[in-house]
Amino acid sequence: MADIKKVGIIGAGQMGAGIAQVCAVAGFDVALNDISEERIDHGLATVSGNLARLVERKQIDEAAVQTALKHVSRAADYDAFADCDLVIEAATESEPVKHSIFHKLSPSLKPGAMLATNTSSISITRLAAATDRPEQFIGIHFMNPVPRMQLVELIRGIATDDATFNAAKKLIAALGKSAIVSEDFPAFIVNRILLPMINEAIYTLYEGVGSVDAIDTALRLGANHPMGPLQLADFIGLDTVLSIMQVLHEGLADSKYRPCPLLVKYVEAGWLGRKTQRGFYDYRSGTPVPTR
């Protein structure tokens, strides 16, 4: 397998744009795709804006920003990935959506190209089986926000070969990040521990043990967490939190992973957190106000 020089990214949202940014800064060519030109434009604007803020903080100079931006291009369709050495899927956390992407994508890739998913919970083995190259498929789970978070989880499917795994490790090192290896179990390591904690915080709210403010303050000041669990849930997206809890509940068949009914209710209401301006906090005034 040749060295990775060009990376394709499917999904120009918060995660995809973050992955594009760190890859471009590290000197990799990047092709960014999404379901519409508008979403690609938004992703490119996110990369540009994030880099501009790094210049303001004197964490990077303007010359490095301009060099990085030259590495990023738009991919209007999957044919733009024909010369990519690796394509990373960073679409919504839905197995049917990911299967559809891989089914449509595979014919556009060169034979030696690697495929990766940024899934935070779904079986790598099952996703790999939806492709024409399970041996060249791997889970590369970046943490959110990608530019700031040091950790990346690497997850091999049952068919992932050593060359793919070693190339992924080399990529993560080139990005200046630290890799840990997780077995292919639901939600891997970080979310297997983190999301049940968030779900329990929601149960604590649901059962009236404490208010939103009390619960978040308790964990910030009592456990020295940088962000309260309900604030973090809003940041992640309540739909994503629910999806991961459903994967844990279904995959491990243990009632302790049952999603809190209040979480389900918020998602049904379309209150998904920061991205919809309402979740456990209301962000519409510019100052977060607890909704309970």
Are 267 and 237 within 8 A, CB to CB? no
For residues 104 and 245, state if they share a domain: no
Based on the fold, state whether residues 21 and 40 are members of the same structural domain.
yes
pLDDT of residue 165: 97
In this prediction, residue 1 carries a pLDDT of: 47
Question: Is residue 25, in this structure, part of any structural domain at all?
Answer: yes
Where a domain ends, among 182, 206, 235? 182
Q: Mean pLDDT over residues 29-34, rounded?
A: 97
Burial (Cβ within 10 Å: 0-12, 13-18, ≥19) of residue 260: buried
Instruction: Flag whether 29 is in a domain.
Output: yes
Residue 239 lies in domain: 191-290
CA distance 41 to 214: 39
Residue 48 CB burial class (10 angstroms; 0-12, 13-18, ≥19) = middle
d(CA 288, CA 278): 9
Among the candidates 182, 214, 248, a domain finishes at: 182
Tell whether pTM > 0.85: yes
Per residue in 260-289, pLDDT (tens digit) is 999 999 999 999 999 999 999 999 999 999
The answer on 134 and 109 residing in a single domain is yes
> CA–CA separation, 241 vs 245, rounded Å?
6
Give per-residue pLDDT as tens, 181-218. 999 999 999 999 999 999 999 999 999 999 999 999 99
Q: What value does the CA radius of gyration of the chain take, rounded to a whole number of Å?
A: 19
- Check pLDDT > 80 for residue 114: yes
Q: Are residues 201 and 263 in the same domain?
A: yes
Q: Which helix (H) or strand (E) holds 203?
A: helix 190-206
Q: Cα separation of 58 and 51, whole Å?
A: 10
Same domain as 37, residue 175: yes
Give domain status of residue 260, yes or no: yes
Separation between Cα atoms, residue 275 and residue 169, nearest integer Å: 32
My answer on whether 171 and 78 are in the same domain is yes
Confidence band for 2, pLDDT divided at 50, 70 and 90: low
Q: Of the candidates 130, 155, 182, which is a domain's last residue?
A: 182
Q: What is the side-by-side strand order in the sheet with 137-142?
A: 72-74, 29-33, 6-10, 86-89, 114-117, 137-142, 151-156, 178-182
CATH code (residue 52): 3.40.50.720
Q: Are 107 and 204 found together in one domain?
A: no
Structure tokens at 15: 């995660």
Residues involved in catalysis: 120, 141, 153, 191
Residues 6 or more apart in contact with residue 150 via CB below 8 angstroms: 143, 177, 178
Share above pLDDT 90 across residues of the chain, in percent, rounded to a whole number: 97
Same domain, 33 and 163: yes
> Does 1 map to a domain?
no
Residue 244 sits in a domain whose CATH number is 1.10.1040.10
Q: Are residues 102 and 161 in the same domain?
A: yes
Q: What CA dihedral angle connects 144, 21, 103 and 136, to 10 degrees?
A: -90
Residue 3 — very low, low, confident or very high, per pLDDT cuts 50/70/90? confident
Structure tokens at 232: 């973090």
Does one domain contain both 13 and 139?
yes
Q: How far is residue 292's CA from residue 282's CA, in Å, rounded to a whole number?
A: 10
Both 200 and 270 in one domain: the answer is yes
Number of domains in the chain: 2
